[in-house]
A and B are shown apart, each in its own frame.
Chain A
Amino acid sequence: MRKFPILFLLYVSLFTANISCNHYSHMKKTKGDVSCAVKFKPDFRLAEYKISVDVIGKHISGLLLIKYMTDSSTRIVFTNEMGLGFFDFGFSGDTGFTVYHIVPQMNKAALIKTLRKDFELILFKNMDESKSYSLIDSDTIYHAYPQTKGVNYYVTDDQCNRLVKMQRSSKKKPVMEAFFYDYLTGQSPDSIFIHHLNFNFSISLKKITPLASQ
């Protein structure tokens, strides 16, 4: 009998924890305007950013170039300040991905997979409207695009006039968030911030002067 209050509290707390574990459960699911989020897709025709990466206490920096290629693929190249190329990734179609170059120190499957997913989110890749749905959370709408694993969310205001943030999530909770700052829809954002919620990993991008074409 004495144990009852303790067990009761334990059950209640487990039940509450289970509910609170699902970050999206309180939101109302609707079909919504599935094409609305696509209009926020930035134009990275040719953009050069200063990049700062902080990962588990380590800091690396350099230049990140994003370029749309004539074959309609997108290339993302990261070099350090002294010109040494860290990686060169290619994104084609919705899910195509090629590692053109990566230094041995970064050539780790888990890191490449994480970077790929992060960049796919900000490039607005794999947005299959037939699978998409919306979740309404008070004054914001989570435009959901299910991926092979997890869901990509593009969060807008309730009128879908402003992109608030982007989110990658597991089944129940967000694992990464990305933000565009000083962003005029249809152009390339002035700044981009990506941060992971389940481990200490963030990427900051700040646009710099135009490049000299060859």
Chain B
Amino acid sequence: MIKMIVLIGFFLNSFCIEAQYSGYTLSNHPEAFRKSFADAAAATESIQSGFSQEKTLTMLSEKMISTGKFWYRKKDKLRMEYLQPYPYLMILNNGKIFVKDGQKENKFSANSNRVFQQVNRILIDCVSGNMLNNTDFQARIFESDRSFLVEFQPLAKNLRELYKNINIVIDKKEYTATSVEMFEVSGDKTVIRFQNKELNAQIPDSVFVIR
């Protein structure tokens, strides 16, 4: 009887995992994915793209939508320029963060604001392919016909207080992130979708300059 309950539990659990992400099943070849993803990441020197960001406030049944431009260059240079609904600029370069909010400009060390640093680190790791090496998270890999979905569950206490999990959707052709989904503890989620991606374009230093 106990064996039967355990068996039923096992099947139910498997079913829940399979059904967790519509169209995706748990990958049978996670190591092959890891290798292909690492190879693609190693070959990616830079990414520039547009992005749209959609924040869903679950309890309020509302969506907040932002759009902008995105630049990444190895190893840790990132520029996110929000254009809508209002201009907002954030640059990360060599452990320093620059934020321009309207006329206000702020510069600070990434180390001085641990949460800001971790959230931005997540974004850099997501697009650079380094997320699988981020020891703050535990990863599970799912796949569909056209893409992989990597689910990252935070292990670090301060990240667990913010996020339930963070998923990256990776297309099977280029092995680069097409979207990042951040599920908050509150039940809200934010999805950043990258559009018109250009890999390994020459991005000048001036894009990442912090004055």
Residues of A within 8 A of B (CB): 46, 48, 50, 52, 59, 61, 63, 65, 67, 69, 75, 77, 79, 81-85, 88, 100-101, 103-105, 206, 208-209, 211-214
For A212, give its contact among B65, B84, B182 (CB under 8 Å). B65
By a CB distance below 8 angstroms, the chain B residues around A82 are 53, 80, 119, 123, 190
Say yes or no: A211 contacts B63, CB within 8 Å. yes
Stretch at the interface among B21-29, B101-109, B167-175: B101-109
> Least Cβ distance of A103 to chain B in Å?
7
Say yes or no: A61 contacts B182, CB within 8 Å. no
Say yes or no: A50 contacts B85, CB within 8 Å. yes
Contacts beyond the supplied A48-B64, A52-B104, A83-B190: 11 A-B pairs with Cβ under 8 Å: A59-B104, A61-B104, A63-B85, A67-B60, A75-B59, A81-B66, A84-B162, A84-B190, A209-B85, A211-B62, A214-B63
Asked whether any CB of chain A lies closer than 8 Å to the CB of B161, the reply is yes
Say yes or no: A84 contacts B119, CB within 8 Å. yes
Say yes or no: A84 contacts B184, CB within 8 Å. yes
By a CB distance below 8 angstroms, the chain B residues around A206 are 86
Say yes or no: A214 contacts B162, CB within 8 Å. no
Asked whether any CB of chain A lies closer than 8 Å to the CB of B82, the reply is yes
> Least Cβ distance of B204 to chain A in Å?
24
Report the Cα distance A214→B190, complex, angstroms.
14
By a CB distance below 8 angstroms, the chain A residues around B53 are 82-83
> Least Cβ distance of A166 to chain B in Å?
24
Residues of B within 8 A of A (CB): 53, 55-57, 59-66, 80, 82, 84-86, 88, 90, 99, 101-102, 104, 106, 115, 119, 123, 158, 161-162, 182, 184-186, 188, 190, 192
By a CB distance below 8 angstroms, the chain B residues around A46 are 62
By a CB distance below 8 angstroms, the chain B residues around A105 are 115
Report the Cα distance A81→B87, complex, angstroms.
10
> Least Cβ distance of A197 to chain B in Å?
22
Say yes or no: B186 contacts A88, CB within 8 Å. yes
Say yes or no: A59 contacts B106, CB within 8 Å. yes
Say yes or no: B115 contacts A83, CB within 8 Å. no
Say yes or no: B186 contacts A211, CB within 8 Å. no
By a CB distance below 8 angstroms, the chain B residues around A85 are 184, 186, 188
Say yes or no: B64 contacts A65, CB within 8 Å. yes
CB-nearest residue of chain B relative to A105? B115
By a CB distance below 8 angstroms, the chain A residues around B57 are 65, 77
> Least Cβ distance of A37 to chain B in Å?
29
By a CB distance below 8 angstroms, the chain B residues around A81 are 66, 82, 88, 90
Report the Cα distance A84→B185, complex, angstroms.
10
Say yes or no: A100 contacts B59, CB within 8 Å. yes
Say yes or no: A213 contacts B61, CB within 8 Å. yes
Report the Cα distance A208→B104, complex, angstroms.
18
Say yes or no: A214 contacts B161, CB within 8 Å. no
Report the Cα distance A88→B55, complex, angstroms.
14
By a CB distance below 8 angstroms, the chain A residues around B115 are 103, 105
Say yes or no: A65 contacts B62, CB within 8 Å. yes
By a CB distance below 8 angstroms, the chain B residues around A50 are 85-86
- Interchain residue pairs with CB less than 8 A apart (25): A52-B102, A61-B88, A61-B99, A61-B104, A67-B60, A67-B62, A75-B60, A77-B60, A81-B66, A82-B53, A82-B119, A82-B190, A83-B53, A83-B55, A83-B64, A85-B184, A85-B186, A88-B186, A100-B59, A103-B161, A103-B162, A105-B115, A208-B86, A209-B85, A212-B63
> Least Cβ distance of B2 to chain A in Å?
41
User: Which of B62, B115, B190 gathers the greatest number of chain A CB atoms within 10 Å?
Assistant: B62
Report the Cα distance A65→B84, complex, angstroms.
16
Say yes or no: B101 contacts A101, CB within 8 Å. no
Report the Cα distance A46→B64, complex, angstroms.
12
